[in-house]
Every structure is written in C-alpha cells, then in structure tokens.
Chains A and B, each alone.
Chain A
Amino acid sequence: MLRADGLRHAFGPVRALDDVSFAVQPGQTLAVFGPNGAGKTTLLKVLAGLIQPQGGRAHVEGGRRAIGWIGHQPQLYGQLTVTENLRFWASLYGTQPSSELLARLGLEEHAHRPVRALSRGLVQRVAIARALVHDPRVLLLDEPFTGLDRIAAEALSHLLGEHAATGRATVLVTHNVEEGTELATDVAFMRNGRFVHFAPRSGRDARDIAAEYRNAVA
C-alpha cells in the first residue's frame, strides 16, 4: 500500500534521509521511533508528497486523496465552526463529512461553535476528525499523542485500531516509545536518517522495545 525505495534527502549538509527503504501492507501499523533530528518528520513529508526527495522514490497507493495526516498543526481555521471546517476540508477531497465522525469523537454538541472558542482538548479532537474526514486509506501521524488529553488520546488509539482492522495502513513517528508500541505491528528505529532496526513487533511489549531502542540509539 505504501513503499519507500532508497529515499535520500539532505538539507544543506544535514542528511535527513539516508537510503531509507521499506513497505507497509494493508492492516499494518509501522511505528518509527527516533530522537529529534533523526529525519522522522522529513520521512513523513516525503511519503505525503510535501517534499520531493533528492534521491529515491516514495509511493502511496491512491495518491494524495488516500492520505490522512495528523501532525503538530491542527489545520483548522479559528473563525469557522467545527462543521464548516470539516465541510471545507472534505470538499477538497470531493466528499462530505459524515455525522458519525463527530459522534465518534464526542463533538456533536460543539459542531456549530467556532474552533477558536474551543478548549485545547476539543481542538485536538476536531483535528483528528479533520484528518479522517475523507476516510483515508493511509494515515501518516507525526507525534500524534503529544499534548493530547486523556479522552482524545483514548479516542485516537481506538480509531487507529479500527483503521488497521479495516485493512488500512498507518505510519506513526514519535520519539516517545511508550505511546506508539501498543498499536504497532511493525517497529523501526531511526537515527541520522537511517533505519537502524526494522522488524515486526512480534509480541514485544513497550518495555522490551524501549530497552532495545535505548541500546540502538544511545
């Protein structure tokens, strides 16, 4: 569903991606752990088509229409209501928001409030709704659990589980090993633009992975 072949990209002298290759099949969730500056965000941006890699190729089945992105920025317009935001983003994908999406994230009662009037936790949930509004087959997540409150984090985990269960692919990058491990089917460690470990999770739990990560990256 998603593959990368020999990706290379440098910002000046800094090698953000140094020959990265992998594939993610439907139903798989790849968690990429790495310290800041390892190139994780660059990898996601290349997969999403935001950056043209200087070397190698990335391919996502279905193109941009199939990609959903959750990152640091909420991608929401403060003056518009929740519904107006969702309708706008959905229109760019040629679709309309479904009412159950709001229900699943507990946003129904806030649907007609402007986003700038919402609390941070609510805004995060709206951001998740926005990313899912066009029913993407591939999810790209850049540190998605950062700063989420408990309700939002649970909702997100739940949604990601469903996403995988319906045969979709996810790539999740984070520097926090605890967060991503439960959901992952495959695990990779990234350092200086390279994958220094890439294997199925195979029953390892968060502590195992954390220990291996510390060894690999420290």
Chain B
Amino acid sequence: MPLPEAVRHAWYVARKDLRVEVRARTGILSALAFVILVLLAFNFSRDPTAVPAIDLAPSILWVTLTFASMLALNRAFQLELENQAFDGLLLAPISRTSIYLGKLIANLIFVATIELLGVPLLALFFNVRILPFLGPLVATIALATIGFVAVGTLFSAMTVRTRFAELLLPVLLLPFMIPPLMWAAWATGPLLAGRPLSDIVGWLKMLAAYDIVFVGVALVLFPATVNE
C-alpha cells in the first residue's frame, strides 16, 4: 500500500538529514562525548557508600538524556541554515507538515542513537541491571523522547535564526521537558527496582497523553514558524 504522500516526503527529508549527519559525523560524536562526560561527572561527585547507585540511576539517566536531547535538537534546522537550503524545501511541492515530520523523524533517530549508546554506558558505569526490564525501559525512554523531540523540533525552527540560538532553545524548552522528565524518572525508579509493571503503567499513560497532545500541537503550529 503506497504511503500517503506527506509521509513519503517526510521520509525523503529525514533520509537526507540522516545521510548528511552520517557524513558529517561531528554531531553524533559530540553528543556521545557529552553523555560520557556527564556520566563521569555524576559518578565522581557521589559518595558510593552513602547512596546506592540504584537510587540515583533514574535521576542520572533522565538528566543525561534530557540534556543530550537538547543539544541534539539544534542540529535539525542548523543544517538548513548552514547549507542555505531551507527556501528550497519551502518551494518544493511538499506540505509544511512533511518538513516538520521529516525533521522530527531525523531528530528521533539521532537522539535514539545517543540513547542506544548512553543507556548501556550508564548501566555499565553504575552497575545497574537493565536487561530484565528492557522492554518497559525502552518503552519509557521512547515515550519521553518523543515528547522532548516533538516540542524541541518545533522550537528549534524558531530559534535557529536568533542570536544565542544554542542558549535560547534550552531556556524555551526546559519548562516543556520537565513534566515528561518527572514522569519518566518516576517510572524508571520502580522499574529498575523490580516493581511490577502495574505500578508504572500510569506514568506511561501520562507520557503517551503528553506525546499525543504535543505532537498534534506541533503539527498544527509548525507552518506558522515558516510561512511569511
């Protein structure tokens, strides 16, 4: 069954973004370096005898992922700015929604790559068992990430041409990242401690609701950020 045109165009945009990213490589490497540094900072700044790693792990995980996502979000529209190609996208017979979806998909894949590398590192450094809980953990991370990235992609379209763009984006984004961050952290804690799934389903539902609402809002509002 042929995909609706909007999705196909979105995929072309996303594929192009990812191809550029793979060639450039600087983005993913910096993000990875950042994650390692943050994990090291957390590790050396805590007193291992006072606080067991399992208690801190959810907070460390989510702070790291939140900040890594924020760094990653600048790249989507920065790419177009650097290549001066954005008008081309607007001129093409594709909907603005496709542009947003394409950027969203590319951002999600980019952040997911960081998470795929960062979460095992966290498990390694802090000696936290994650394999028995892998399914629900991946679900939690995925849901929270969609929330961050949906709003972040929308905002980065606006901040990319301002001065201090790299500073303004986190400032705008933080209030929007804190609720999903909280719910995800509250889900991760009991999850890693081996509590039953029923304990955390409520948080997952909140994350899903947040995602649905904000992806919808972003889809509706994105054209306003690019149309003159």
Using CB atoms and an 8 Å cutoff, list the residues of chain A in contact with chain B.
Answer: 45, 48-52, 63-65, 67, 69, 71, 73-80, 84, 88-89, 91-94, 114, 130
Contact = CB atoms under 8 A, between A and B. Distances in A.
A50 B24 contact: no
Contacts of B91: 48-50, 64, 67, 69
Given A80-B16, A80-B20, A80-B23, A50 B83 contact: no
A215 B94 CA distance: 43
Contacts of A48: 91
Contacts of A51: 228
Top 10 closest pairs, chain A to chain B, by CB = A75-B88, A73-B84, A79-B23, A92-B92, A64-B93, A65-B93, A75-B85, A51-B228, A91-B12, A79-B20
Nearest to B98: A92
Given A50-B87, A50-B91, A77-B20, 16 more contacts: A48-B91, A50-B228, A52-B227, A64-B93, A65-B93, A69-B91, A73-B84, A73-B88, A75-B85, A75-B87, A77-B85, A79-B20, A84-B19, A91-B12, A92-B13, A92-B89
Contacts of B227: 52
26 contacts: A50-B91, A50-B228, A51-B228, A64-B92, A64-B93, A67-B91, A69-B91, A71-B87, A73-B84, A73-B87, A74-B84, A74-B85, A75-B88, A77-B16, A77-B79, A77-B83, A78-B82, A79-B23, A89-B88, A92-B12, A92-B13, A92-B93, A92-B94, A93-B93, A114-B23, A130-B88
Nearest to A130: B88
Contacts of A77: 16, 20, 79, 83, 85
Interface residues of B, number: 23
A142 to B, nearest CB: 10
Interface in B2-57: 9, 12-13, 16, 19-20, 23-24
Contacts of B19: 79-80, 84
A48 B228 CA distance: 12
B90 interface: yes
Interface of B: 9, 12-13, 16, 19-20, 23-24, 79, 82-85, 87-94, 227-228
B20 A50 contact: no
Contacts of A63: 93
A51 B92 CA distance: 14
A136 to B, nearest CB: 10
Nearest to B92: A92
A79 B24 contact: yes
A69 B89 CA distance: 12
B85 A73 contact: yes
Contacts of A75: 83-85, 87-88
